[in-house]
Amino acid sequence: MATTSDAGDLEESRARLCEEFAGIAGTDSGVAQCYLADNDWNMEKALNAFFEADLEKVFEAEWSSDKESEPATKRQKVEEKTPTESIDLTADCPGSSCKPPDADDAGLSLLSWNVDGLDTENLAERARGLCSYLALYTPDVVFLQELIPPYVQYLKKRAVSYLILEGNEDGYFTGMMLKKARVKLLESEIVAYPTTRMMRNLLVAQVSFKGSKLCLMTSHLESCKGQGGERMKQLGEVMRRMREVPDDITVLFGGDTNLRDKEVAKVGLPAGVCDVWERLGKQEHCRYTWDTTANSNKSVPYVSRCRFDRVYLRPAARDGVSTLAPDHMALVGMEKLDCGRFTSDHWGVYCSFTTS
């Protein structure tokens, strides 16, 4: 027979699961309880069920809207040229200053962004907004967090100049986009975090850029203030892997870390690893990537300004090997779209690096 103590422990455990589910899915505890109860209180199954809504229709509506808004002659030409609707929006240049990088340019550019695919409101327009920023900045490498399968399918149709790697197939996950003309994939792997409660992992890609080897990593570390212990374990794993990459290879990590500065201090950065924002002088205008005073996508009853999204660099150290040095950082996505919302509830982090 279950004791009162056992019942209390079970209730506490389920309440914690509901809180975690609500935090991940951006819903309330009542919805969380329904999905968890229907899936035997298994977090992964419950989240997968939650995300199985037919979101493809959202994007199909966007594609249909694109066609209807085009002149008939242009639409006919597009349909004749691309019968499968693979239209490269990253070739559309929304700003006069936009131009493709010079093929001989030795520098590397990176965009890291939590695109908040869990928020389905105006999702297609926000995904198109991402493509506009890809066109504007033409980054060589893109790290994305909080992707969902329909969002990835949209990007595959719209950003055909990029190779897309996915950190998972179900639920929500991270991804990488590699500009085909500039970055060549050698191999990739997905590294599990064994004690995550939020389906988090580390996506790693070995690539070649301008004849040099790079190791690229992205992750979405455990969310919520109460998950600091797990988040620090995950950061420790990231740093261990950065440290262990051979010294003739430059390592770049970027993502939504959810880190607080005191957590980083407790874990520590290995010798040779730097925080790019700090290396560039801790510029105040790039400090807060999650800022409820400026970003209205999330209606929250509190003010929060945090540097959740971070980029870490470990340059190659072997003599005679080409390496990268941070040159510039900017926050992107700070303009509202026509729908009145931002591309994401996070600002994107754009970085450029010089090669030496």
Annotated catalytic sites, by residue? 256
Q: 3-state SS of 84-146?
A: CCCCCHHHCCCCCCCCCCCCCCCCEEEEEEECCCCCCCCHHHHHHHHHHHHHHHCCCEEEEEE
Rounded CA separation 274/195 (Å): 26
Q: 3-state SS of 170-222?
A: CCCEEEEEEECCCEEEEEEEEEECCCCCCCCEEEEEEEEECCEEEEEEEEECC
Rounded CA separation 95/50 (Å): 38
CB atoms closer than 10 angstroms to residue 97? 7
Tell me which residue has tokens 């509506």.
61
* Alpha-carbon distances of 184 from 209, 215, 238, 291, rounded to whole Å: 7, 12, 23, 35
